[in-house]
Amino acid sequence: MPGLSQARSLAQQQKRRLSTPANLLVNQPSLAMSQTLEKTVLVEKLPDSRTAHLQPIIDYLTAEGNTPADQAMFTYDRDGYGSYYFKEALDMARLRAHFAFPATILLTKDTVQDTRNFVRITQANPASDVVLKFNV
């Protein structure tokens, strides 16, 4: 069959053409086998929870070496605003590189703030060496 042999010949030529280094893009980033360019996509909210959709961020930060401060859970103030504290500062550049955030989740210089659910992930206030004294 002449058609089949021509198709094989064309496929071999294309394979050789693609495998030669001269045809590769010069500025294309090279990735190791374990690396990927895909980000973890976060949703705005999960049913029956104000904070479950933020658990991937907490898991990622913990895996990166951040230590939860005091309690490994969200705490709520008297107005119902929830906070999850870490002892170390959050690396916002790494979070932006790893996650795709919905419009309702804002990243400030030191906080992941969920404006829809009124919760945040941030660094706990570091202990101060300054002793406060009051004259009463």
- Whether the CB-CB separation of 81 and 66 falls below 8 Å is answered with no
Provide the 10 A C-beta neighbour count for residue 53: 21
| pLDDT at 134 (0 to 100) | 83
| pLDDT at 59 (0 to 100) | 95
Tell me, what DSSP letter sits at residue 73?
S
| pLDDT at 113 (0 to 100) | 96
| pLDDT at 17 (0 to 100) | 44
Q: Give domain limits for the chain.
A: 40-123
pLDDT tens for the chain, 136 residues long, are 455 555 555 555 544 444 444 433 333 345 555 555 688 999 998 888 999 999 999 999 999 999 999 788 999 999 999 999 999 999 999 999 999 999 999 999 999 999 999 999 999 886 666 677 788 7
| pLDDT at 20 (0 to 100) | 41
| pLDDT at 27 (0 to 100) | 39
Tell how far CA 125 is from the center of its chain.
23
| pLDDT at 118 (0 to 100) | 95
Sort 113 into a burial class: Cβ within 10 Å, 0-12 / 13-18 / 19+. middle
| pLDDT at 133 (0 to 100) | 79
